[in-house]
Amino acid sequence: MSIASSAAASAAPIRMAVECRSIRKAFPGVLALDDVSLSIRQGEIHALLGQNGAGKSTLVKVLTGVYQPEEGRIFIDGKEVRLRDVREAEANGIAIVHQDQPLIAQFDVTSNALLGNELVRIGGLLDRKAMRSRVQEALDRVQADFSPDTLVRDLSVAQRAQVSIAAALLRNPTALILDEPTASLSDKEAERLFGIIRALRSQGVTIIYISHYLDEVLNLVDRISVLRDGKLVATVSVSEVARSDLVRMIVGRDVSQLYPKEKVAIGAPLLEVRGLTLGSTLHGIDLTVRRGEILGIAGLVGAGRSELALTLVGALTRDSGTVTIDGKPSNPADPRIAKEHGFALIPEDRRHEGLIADLAVRENLTLPNISRWARFGLLNWRAEAAAARELVTRLDIQPPSIKPQIRNLSGGNQQKVVVGRWLTGESRVFLFDEPTTGVDVGSKIEIYRQMVELARSGAAVIFISSDFEEISAMCDRTMVMQKGRISKVIEDQREATPEALLFWASGSAESEKAERAEAEDANTEKASSRSVAKRALSRWGTVIGMLLVVGAIAALAPQFVAPGNIFDVLKQGSVLAFIALGLTVVLIAGGFDMSAGAASQFAANIAAGTLLSGFGSVAAIALGGAFGFVIGAINAGLVLVLRIPAFVATLGMMFVIMGATLLFNGGQALTLSNMPGFFFLGQGYVGPVPFVFILLVAFTLGLHVVLKKTRLGLRMYAVGQNAAAAALRGVGQSRYAFASFALGGLVLGLAGVVLAAYSYGASAMATGIDFLISALAATFLGSTISRAGELDVIGTVIAAIFLASLSNGLILMGVSNQALPGIQGIVLVLSILLGLSRKRGIGQVLIF
Amino acid sequence: MQSATTVRRASEPFLLDQLRAYGPILGMILILVVFAILKPAFLSVANIGNVLHQSSILIIMSFGLAVVMAMRGVDLSIAQIADAAGLLAAVLLLHGQPLWIVFTLPIAFGLFAGLVNGLLVAYAGVPAIIGTLGMMFVIRSGELLMTNGAEPQILFTLPRGLTRNFFFVGQGSIGPFSALVLLGVVVFIAMMVVTRLTTFARRARAVGGNARAAYLAGINIRAVFAGGFVLAGLLASIAGVALVSRTSIAVPRGAEPYLLDAFAAVYLGTLLSRRGDITIWGTLLGGLFITFLSNGLTLLGLGAPYRFALNGGFILLAMAIGALKRNH
């Protein structure tokens, strides 16, 4: 290129943004990077290409400080650097935008972009104005068409990518790494992104671009480095290389593996898929697999291959299209029904979707068809063990035993178990999704052999892979998937060479492009108009509901709206609101707190005891707060140091505190009298307004400032909502979870003091859990009021006052106060249901 | 990585390995020995028989919690279900209902409450802590309304003929064994069968181990998860009826302290399994230990505060030891 020639002409060397020399990195059994040297020039777009496992991601992790190389040196801007962790890499000017970079959905763009690098004034107060204008600048650089105040959850995938890039630019990086930025984008969106990237280059930003899509790369970048098997194949200028050369460099000619392909008689069509569509990931997929046939589906990450498999087994719900097995229509609601239809899925992510790591080989093998060895739900232990043993032998699983926990097996043997579990049933259509990733050669051959065996037995096999060599060698027919479509059908397998497959999978299908983009636009528009009403309802539903309830109470019990009664309600609600405030603060970043109510009660006893012992109100307040703080700190220690899940830690703590409370008060109520100064806290009035309510408002505003306007608060929310995203920005969990527990504990302690002042002392009963449910109800109901559906102190207080109004109103209407706990329980569950906008999984809890 | 840890584990000194496996149970025995030294009456046959008798109720209830927790759920409503079931039995008896109704209606109630829990948690997706906490308070309100504000339902003043058969469960004996202990043994055996020899057990272990993988393997994870809550409700209601049969009185909210004990039993039980799993065996021993502990404390004249504090402390200790085991 011109830069190269001019550099050669003048004596001045080209400035290198990043230079790696002889980098070597080994993992047990694999040499991931072998003597890799490469230079990234200042201001260029440099592509890193290579197949899965070629070493691209290892190299990126070395550059970003995640891995330390065993050998080699790294220079940034001409200076040699050591990158011992992510922070250090960042300080040295390496910024990365990960594929599908996690962001904090409930935050606005400004907070997301500057998290970890916030601009603050004295006292840690966020300088929102300055932050906003800096982010606006960065957004302008990436040509964003949305405001920095938008919530990230309201942005499209493409817009989120823009946010991530803007956030990286805010750090003024020497080099910006973009890891597969277009994998989840439509062609049109990707096209827009390329424009942005080119604009960044013209602003002088150096970009390292990682992608599988050759056409993209050829149109976008200046130079290309190709990695294969941990080695650098070549670094070439894009003007000097043809697409076909690149394909050859990427695929190479490895020592050819043995593929146990055999000719098997191919019968009538078994699986027929017509027009299968799933949102924006699958567009009208048509395919047919015959008995005895292995159909290859070649495609890159993000092509929709796994989604196709998941849709076929009903784990994703298709929008349209028909599927028939042996002529019978199949539209399974979940994988269990799909199993009955004859589908068997070997999922892509073995560790998270395939294995039950804690269970034995035997239990993993017989899981899907366990009822085969059972009568009336009772297992025939012996027959089941025999079946498992037979599978272990048949698949040559090592060690040859059904007993070991599957986590102790090698990746290949684990995969054999996942395959083996489908061999005992009536499955006729086998979906192998990337079955050989992270699998040793011996096990690979075993897995291929099983495919052939299945085909021989008359099953239809779909083999999904991005390893084009194995597709080429093992399949009878191959389809190439690209961006949710079948982009090429290769009927004659001899034409399905690895090169041809890569060629088809990595191109951007030129035809249909415009038509597709139009269709997508129409889709988004339709979706957005439909969701406006839904959005409004989910945004304001709680408030409307609350107003309706209060209105109904006022109509049915007119005395409810008498000024005297309203102030009574405010007074009653305030004490509960205080406890709920503390709980809210803990929940923001601490996980869960079962001990909240007990902590407040304990503090109430401490305060009452202090006063009874003749120390003054100030001592009572200080001690109550201090005990709350200490309890919070201990909870934090249990959760953060000993890594006990918050639920259990605080459950244990709740009981310890209840015991301590009873020891302290000796099972007696601590009744206070003649302490007007102290009682004023809970019972006094300023004019007609209860003092405790004024205190509550002041407290809430104070907490609101801390949580919403300071760096500390922002980071607490970040950690609580998405610890992984926060960690990528260098915001570690421990500090902010501790802050959450400790600050929340302090508030709970002070709430206890208010409780003592309100109820003229402390009760003897250990009623911690009663307070807890009210506080939980207020907290979760309050969270449904806020814009982002996040925990929010103001929402909590409004909800607490609403709960008090509800109780008061019901009693005025003649409902027994014994019904109140139950009503609070129902409100709690309902407010959670309201928050569960779409059906989640099952309500499992972290208890270990 | 994995093979490396296995190797290291295998080459560990034998003694240390044994200590890790049996340390917790030795510790528990040690605590009980201290009680025996301080109060020799602790080990008297009468006292041990009494403790076994008492422990049945806790153990039956804990089994249900163990099943739910092994699936990574949690049920905070079991004590309240037991409480309401016992109360219901007492009320039915006081109203002169026939015995079979006195037994079956409370148990049907337990099944129903468990089913509602299961639907909320497994089908609606409400986190188990919240769903069952809500259930706990709904039931509590129901009890208070039913008894006009927590009036105790006294059965021992009823004519003996009316109550004899009902009291048999909690107070009678078959040969030298108390009926309640035998009930505990029967439930224990049944639960061993349920958690080892049934397809439900396999599916439940899969749901607890990796719900996503179980789902993709074609397991009906919602039904299985909900099933755990139904079982917990059933066992809690049996325990609750047995409790009233033993004490001859149903005090609303009287069974609530069992919730803490049940948690302590299950968590302590995890220490007794080599890998820290929740097992029926472990829960049985955990429940026995907790009952012996509270009995010992009572003999020493130490009351509820110590029980609360110690149980809470044991939960934390069990988790801390488990965490160390795993970190290692």
Question: What is the band of B1 on the pLDDT scale with cuts at 50, 70, 90?
Answer: very low
On chain B, the residues whose CB falls within 8 A of the CB of A780 are: 130
* Alpha carbon distance A163, A154 (integer Å): 12
Report which listed range, A207-216, A623-632, A658-667, is most confident: A623-632
Per-residue pLDDT at B323 exceeds 90: no
Cβ of A410: how many Cβ atoms within 10 Å?
A: 18
Contact A65, A86 (CB under 8 A): yes
Q: What pLDDT, on the 0 to 100 scale, is given for residue B153?
A: 87
Q: Do B206 and A367 touch (CB under 8 A)?
A: yes
Q: What is the pLDDT of residue A733?
A: 87
> Measured between alpha carbons, how far apart are the two ends of chain B, in Å?
13
Q: How many CB atoms lie within 10 A of CB A298?
A: 31
B99's tokens: 């015995």
Rounded CA separation A412/A393 (Å): 15
Q: Which pLDDT value is given to residue A515?
A: 46
CB contact under 8 A, A358 and B120: no
* Residue B286 confidence (pLDDT): 93
Report whether pLDDT(A187) > 60.
yes
Which residue matches tokens 């021992």? Answer: B156
> Order of strands, edge to edge, in the sheet holding A79-81?
A30-41, A16-27, A71-76, A79-81
Q: Is A188 exposed, middle or buried (0-12, 13-18, 19+ CB in 10 A)?
A: middle
Report which secondary-structure segment, H or E, holds B111.
helix B99-118
Contacts of B200 in chain A (CB under 8 A): 377
Residue A820 has a pLDDT of: 84
User: Cα separation of A764 and A609, whole Å?
Assistant: 12
The predicted-structure confidence for A350-374, as pLDDT tens digits, reads as follows 888 999 988 999 999 999 999 999 9
User: Inter-chain contact A334–B220, Cβ cutoff 8 Å?
Assistant: yes
Residues of chain B contacting A821 with CB distance shorter than 8 Å? 137-138, 140-141, 144
Asked whether the beta carbons of residue B308 and residue A370 sit closer than 8 angstroms, the reply is no
User: In this predicted structure, what is the pLDDT of residue B6?
Assistant: 39
Q: For residue A514, is pLDDT > 60?
A: no
Residue B265's pLDDT is: 93
Give B-chain residues touching A814 at CB under 8 angstroms: none
What is the band of A513 on the pLDDT scale with cuts at 50, 70, 90? very low
Task: Say if residue B157's pLDDT is above 90.
Answer: no
What pLDDT shows up at residue B22? Answer: 73
What would the mean pLDDT of B295-320 be, rounded to a whole number? 85
pLDDT tens per residue across span A35-61: 999 999 999 999 998 876 778 888 998
Query: Which amino acid is residue A736, in one-letter code?
Result: Y
Taking CB atoms and an 8 Å limit, are B210 and A352 in contact across chains?
yes
Position B254 scores a pLDDT of 86
Distance in Å, alpha carbon of B227 to nearest chain A alpha carbon:
12
State the pairing for strand pair A206-210/A45-49: parallel
User: Number of C-alpha atoms within 13 angstroms, CB side, residue A611?
Assistant: 26
The token pair that represents B24 in the structure block: 């917790």
- Where are any strands of DSSP class E within chain B? 153-154, 173-174, 177-178, 249-250
Tokens of A110: 């400004």
pLDDT above 60 (res A837): no
User: How much of chain A exceeds pLDDT 70, in percent?
Assistant: 92
pLDDT at res. A748:
96
Chain A residues in contact with B308 (beta carbon < 8 A)? 655-656, 658-659, 662, 766
Q: A337 pLDDT exceeds 60?
A: yes
What tokens appear for B245 in the block? 């049969």
C-alpha to C-alpha distance for A212 and A48, rounded to whole angstroms: 9
Residue found by looking up tokens 């984008």 in the block: A185
Bridge partners (DSSP) listed for residue A282: A278
Closest-CA residue of chain A to B210: A356
Chain B partners within 8 Å of A667 (Cβ): 303-305
pLDDT band at A521 (very low <50, low <70, confident <90, very high): very low
Please report the pLDDT score of residue B20 as a whole number: 65
Shortest distance between the Cα of A57 and any Cα of chain B, in A, equals 20
**Taking the CB of residue A145, how many other CB atoms lie within 10 A of it?**
8
Q: How buried is residue A73: exposed, middle or buried, by Cβ count under 10 Å (0-12/13-18/19+)?
A: middle
Q: What is the largest CA-CA distance in chain A?
A: 97
If you search the block for the tokens 């003749």, which residue do you land on? Answer: A614
8 Å CB contact between A707 and A793: yes
Q: Which of A95-99, A798-802, B232-236 has the lowest mean pLDDT?
A: A95-99
Highest mean pLDDT: which range of A157-171, A246-260, B101-115: B101-115
Q: How high is the pLDDT of residue A476?
A: 93
The pLDDT, as a whole number, for residue B10 is: 44
What pTM did the predictor assign?
0.85
Q: Around Cβ B6, how many Cβ atoms within 10 Å?
A: 13
Strand intervals (E) in B12-120: none
* pLDDT for the residue A218: 87
How remote is the C-alpha of B9 from its chain's centroid?
33
| Measured distance CA(B185)–CA(B63) in Å, rounded | 12
What CA–CA distance (Å, rounded) separates A212 from A297? 16
* pLDDT over 70 at A843, yes or no: no
| Nearest-by-Cβ selection for A829 from B126, B193, B212 | B126
Rounded to the nearest integer, the mean pLDDT of chain A is 86
Q: Give me the sign of the Cα torsion angle B204, B209, B215, B217.
A: negative
**Contacting residues for A358 by C-beta, under 8 A, at least 6 apart:** A405, A407, B205, B209, B275, B277
The tens digit of pLDDT for each residue in A688-743 reads 999 999 999 999 999 999 999 999 999 999 998 888 888 888 888 899 999 999 99
Q: Which of B228, B289, B299 is nearest to B264 (CA)?
A: B289
**End-to-end CA, chain A:** 59
What does the pLDDT read at residue B327?
Answer: 55
ipTM, two decimals, is 0.86
A517/A774: higher pLDDT: A774
pLDDT at B180 over 60: yes
Find the residue in A nearest to B197 (Cα). Answer: A379
- Nearest-Cα distance to chain A for B93, in Å, is 24
Beta-bridge mates of residue A33: A25
- pLDDT for position A766: 62
Residue A416: pLDDT above 50?
A: yes
Element (H, E) at A490: strand A485-490
- In chain A, what percentage of residues exceed pLDDT 90? 44
The alpha carbon of residue B89 is apart from the nearest alpha carbon of chain A, in Å, by 21
pLDDT, tens only, A566-583: 999 999 899 999 999 999
Q: pLDDT for B21-72, tens place per residue? A: 677 788 888 888 888 898 888 888 899 999 999 999 999 999 999 999 999 9
Q: Do B199 and A359 touch (CB under 8 A)?
A: no
Model confidence at B302, in pLDDT bands (50, 70, 90)? confident
For residue A371, the 8-state DSSP code is G
Band (pLDDT 50/70/90 cuts) for residue A9 is: very low
Cβ-defined contact of B217 to A839 (cutoff 8 Å): no
Residue that has been written with the tokens 């489908």 in this structure: A422
In angstroms, rounded to a whole number, what is the distance separating the alpha carbons of residues A1 and A255?
A: 35
The two three-digit tokens of residue A702, written as one number: 């104070």
CB A459 within 8 A of CB A429: yes
**In Å, how far from its chain's centre is CA A477?**
37
DSSP β-bridge partners for residue A41: A16
Q: What is the pLDDT of residues A770-794, one digit of tens each?
A: 888 889 889 988 888 877 778 899 9
Q: Min CA distance, A270 vs chain B (Å)?
A: 21
For residue A635, the chain B residue with the least C-alpha distance is: B316
